[in-house]
Amino acid sequence: MLRVGILGASRIVPWALGEPAARRSDVQLTAIAARRPGAASPLAERFAINNVYDRYEDVISDPSVDLVYNPLPPHLHAEWSIKALEAGKHVLCEKPFAMNAAEARAMTDAAAANGRRVIEAFHDRYHPVFEHLLDRVKAGDLGTLSTIRAEFSHTIPRLEGEFRRIRSMGGGALMDLGCYPVHWCRSLVQEEPVITQASAVRDPDGYDEEIEATLQFPSGISAHIASRMSQGWHYHARLEIQGDRGTLMVENSLLPQLGHSIRATIDGVFRQYTIGGGTTFDYQLEALVAALRNATPLPTEGAGPLGNMAAIDAIYAAAGF
């Protein structure tokens, strides 16, 4: 039985953990803490969480917790993930993993020093849709890859206290949205890129409202990523992979359970199809449980989060941040 404690009462908790855990017999949510009075109680009641606290420290020190789920704003990822690791807990940390590559390194170092694991919650990486894309690339179905285009755009409302629009809390289009396209490209190519170009639309408050970048990989593959959170951008997640034999494009590999489409043109033959499956979050939890049980590595830990944060740092630098 994997016993999980939750930091905060984030809106993603039911989707990312509560509902998937409720569908399993080998995962139990045992503790939750929220600093806002009463914020944790509805989640505790909904998911039968017995231990409800108003301090994150209490979740971390709770002996009934094996793994801590950290969906706090990004500026709190390193601090509380490291504290949990030092308390002997594994950590599942939401994206983006940290504020920068230096924090990401401190988190992975803390995991190694304490014999525990810290895993980034790129849930879509574990779904059959993304596994299918990886398999087709590895099998050489597209021939030699040349170009990848990846975009995730979605309006983020201008609400008071919205951390995704507060730079000091880890806000910005690249941090909240663009981290996914960066991850898609790195996962498909299995190399670390150099950033050759980046540009951004900067909000007066200092964060990136929109951002684009070109990534060059050692094998010669180039990738163009874009993310926008400005008004009028309804949910848009697209990934296009091009090789000398054809093109593979997927709409919404991020949340394929809500509807997706794969369009392939290989050697001049067109095919459009979908792949069945549950939610990305169910597959993520299944992979997490198996990895902890069998001591097997996951693609969203170790070098994975470090490489993603290093690329994000480099994109920001190239865009003048």
Q: Is 164 helix (H, G, I), strand (E, B) or coil?
A: helix
**Cβ atoms < 10 Å from Cβ of 14:** 16
pLDDT-based confidence at residue 233 (cuts at 50, 70, 90): confident
Burial annotation 283-319 (CB, 10 A radius, 16+ → b, else e): bbbbbbbebbeeeeebbbbbebbbbbbbbbbbbbebb
Asked whether the predicted pLDDT for residue 149 surpasses 90, the reply is: yes
Q: What is the mean pLDDT of the chain?
A: 97
The whole-number average pLDDT for the span 184-207 is 97
pLDDT of residue 232: 83
pLDDT of residue 231: 87
| HEC secondary structure over 91-110 | EEECCCCCCCHHHHHHHHHH
pLDDT of residue 296: 98
Half-sphere exposure of 278 (CA within 13 A, CB side): 13
pLDDT tens digits, 83-120: 999 999 999 999 999 999 999 999 999 999 999 999 99
Q: Are the C-beta atoms of residues 274 and 261 closer than 8 Å to each other? A: yes
pLDDT tens digits, 19-59: 999 999 999 999 999 999 899 999 999 999 999 999 999 99
Structural domains of the chain, ranges and CATH numbers in brackets = 2-121 (3.40.50.720), 124-318 (3.30.360.10)
pLDDT of residue 82: 98
Among 201-215, 228-242, 255-269, the minimum mean pLDDT is found in 228-242
pLDDT tens digits, 190-201: 999 999 999 999
- The two three-digit tokens of residue 60, written as one number: 């971390």
pLDDT of residue 117: 98
CA of 207: how far to CAs of 103, 175, 316, in Å? 19, 10, 10
Number of H helices and number of E strands within the chain? 11, 14
Beta bridge partners of 67: 4, 90
pLDDT-based confidence at residue 206 (cuts at 50, 70, 90): very high
